[in-house]
Structure 1
Amino acid sequence: MGVQVTGQREDLAQVGPACAWSNHDTGGAVGVSYALTTHVGLSDVYANTQPKSALWKELPAVQGFPVVAHAGIKGSAIPADFCQASVGLSDSISIDVSLTLGESKRETADACGLVSQIVDMTVTTLRAKAGS
């Protein structure tokens, strides 16, 4: 069973539906977007995001789905408080989960280390909604 929270829809017309949750007091934020309209899945992330990313690492699969973490742009500093993970749900569908650490976690936590937990919660919620 997934975590129940309220968020704000911020759909991306070229990509698909998206939601964002943020805590304005701490600066922490989570975003989830679904790449449904491009029909290219995780291969697009490898082809277009990997070459430009300052940080790129394959993470352990989450519930059987491949995951890569990425942040920043090559040639610039890697942001310590932000990480995005892309998850291949099928050959044609992927999701992006982004995390910006809040003030209390910026000096003590690794955003890319924590983003896998949010990916796991997201996949659990999607599976519950799909009935599998």
Structure 2
Amino acid sequence: MNLRTTVAMLAVAVLAVGCSTPTDGTPTPSASPTQNLPYGGAPKVENPLPDDVLSGDPCQALTPQQLTDQLGSAVPGKPDTSPVRACDWTSPDTHGFIGLSFFDKHNDGLSNVYVNVRPQMKRFDVLQPIQGFPAVAYSTQPGPNSQTCDVNVGVTDQLSFAVEVTPGGTKFGNVDPCPLATDVANDVLTTLKHKAGR
């Protein structure tokens, strides 16, 4: 499962949360799940960013210098066609990959991840907060030698973003990708906090 599959799974899960089925089989709107956020064991975002912080182009969330640091060159971002707004960067030299998705449609943030993604992962690490924001890393492969890793960061109790990293070159399969994804998530947070005036 890669980030795009995870993105699709989270988007579908959000749609399913909006309705409940009573005994007569007729779907009816459920109580707003946002009234009970967070849930599923997800942590609360204590100092959330403004709701519009994810309204921009995800391809602008990493600076040329950040991309050079992470991939070796400032490659242009390519908008992705996933169910949410997303951007991909791939190094032409090492084939290292970064994917970024903005979950900006009130998708229940990390609560959605804890409930719908966690059970399907062989690795699910609760990370130390990144710049004060709760985050988790996960992969379908166990252990530090997985080929790719996703990090999802809650910027509010409802909103989050996800980063996927696949190391390139000799790092592929030999370096734990989760710390690399955490570094990229930190870069994205720096950009988002700057946008929010923090």
The whole-number CA distance in structure 1 between the counterparts of 2:148 and 2:99 is 11
2:118 is the counterpart of 1:50: yes
1: CA distance, partners of 2:167 / 2:124: 18
Deviation (angstroms), 1:116: 1.2
Which range is displaced more, 107-116 or 81-90? Answer: 107-116
Distance in 2 separating the partners of 1:56 and 1:4: 28
Instruction: Specify the alignment match of 1:41 in structure 2.
Output: 109
90, 96, 99: which one pairs with 1:28? Answer: 96
Distance 1:3 1:93 in 2: 19
**What is the TM-score of this pair, normalised by structure 1?**
0.85
In structure 2, the gaps of 5 or more residues are: 1-60, 65-75
Deviation >6 Å, runs of 4+: none
- 1:127 counterpart residue number: 193
Match of 1:21, SS state, is strand
> Partner letter of residue 56 of structure 1?
F
How far off its partner does 1:119 sit? 0.8
How many residues were matched structurally?
Answer: 125
**Structure 1 residue 70 and structure 2 residue 166: aligned?**
no
Aligned partner of 1:12 among 76, 82, 85: 82
Give the distance between the partners of 2:191 and 2:171, measured in 1 at CA: 25
Q: For residue 61 of structure 1, give the secondary structure of its aligned residue in structure 2.
A: coil
| Residue type at the aligned position of 1:114 | L
Q: Does residue 111 in structure 1 map to residue 177 in structure 2?
A: yes
